[in-house]
Amino acid sequence: MAFIETRLPDDVRYGMLSGPVFNTEIIELNSGREQRNVGWSQPRREYQVEYVRDLTQLKALHSFFRITQGMAHGFRLKDWLDYRVEQAEGIIGTGVGTSETVYQLSKLYFYDSLQSYTPVTKVVSGSVTVYRNGSVFPSSGNWSLDYNTGIITMTAGQAGHTLQWSGEFDVPVRFNTDKLSA
């Protein structure tokens, strides 16, 4: 599958329905209890772009759909419900080295005492701030980021330091059909 590092146009995605989707199989046992099997470690996201307000939006969607060739090519999408990471949510990790070390950016989701992490792979260029022990850690000579993978390479001393980030990200998606009915 090819991936196009372009967002679905803003005017098309505004007003879409969205949310995470999990894959859980529930098996009823003879004892009356249930066994739950979780199929995916991370949820997939599902979006419905059904609300196109005018001809300009329809033309933009039509062009974008042709460029992606329906389901053939993935693309970036801004999920208005989940596109920003605050410093407390932006997890890089605890530094382990003094030379070049690679980390995956992650977002922490928490509710009460419960928490879950998800990797962030499609970072919005120019939106990222990195923190070392709570203070801004400038990029100049200290780190570099691949905005298409969410892989950050630390090039300066990070051993034992708490590393966090803040910024914006997109979601990698594809159309789930090869037919655009308009």
pLDDT (tens digit per residue) in 15-24:
666 677 778 8
pLDDT higher than 70, residue 109? yes
DSSP 124: P
Q: Is the pLDDT of residue 127 over 90?
A: yes
Q: What's the mean pLDDT in 105-120?
A: 94
Q: What is the pLDDT of residue 99?
A: 74
The answer to whether 75 and 90 have CB atoms below 8 angstroms apart is no
Out of 40-49, 105-114, 115-124, pick the least confident: 40-49
Residue 50 has pLDDT above 80, yes or no: no
Cα 30 to Cα 33, 38, 80, 108, 161: the distances in Å are 7, 20, 44, 38, 51
Residue 181: pLDDT above 60?
yes
pLDDT band at 43 (very low <50, low <70, confident <90, very high): confident
- State the amino acid at position 53 in one-letter form: R
pLDDT value of position 20 = 77
User: What gap in Å lies between CA 55 and CA 140, rounded to an integer?
Assistant: 45
User: Which pLDDT value is given to residue 13?
Assistant: 60
Residue 35 has phi, psi (to 5 degrees) of -110, 125
Q: Is the pLDDT of residue 131 over 60?
A: yes
Q: Which two tokens stand for residue 34?
A: 């249930």
Q: Which of 16-20, 40-44, 146-150, 170-174 has the highest mean pLDDT?
A: 146-150
Burial (CB < 10 A; 0-12, 13-18, 19+), residue 93, is: middle
The pTM of this model reads: 0.82
Which one, of 75, 46, 51, lies nearest residue 63 by Cα? Answer: 75
| CB distance 171 to 45 below 8 Å | yes
- pLDDT class for 92, splitting at 50, 70, 90? very high
Task: List Cβ neighbours of 26 (8 Å cut-off, separation of 6 or more).
Answer: 34, 35, 36, 37
Q: What is the mean pLDDT of residues 46-63?
A: 77
pLDDT in the model for residue 118 = 93
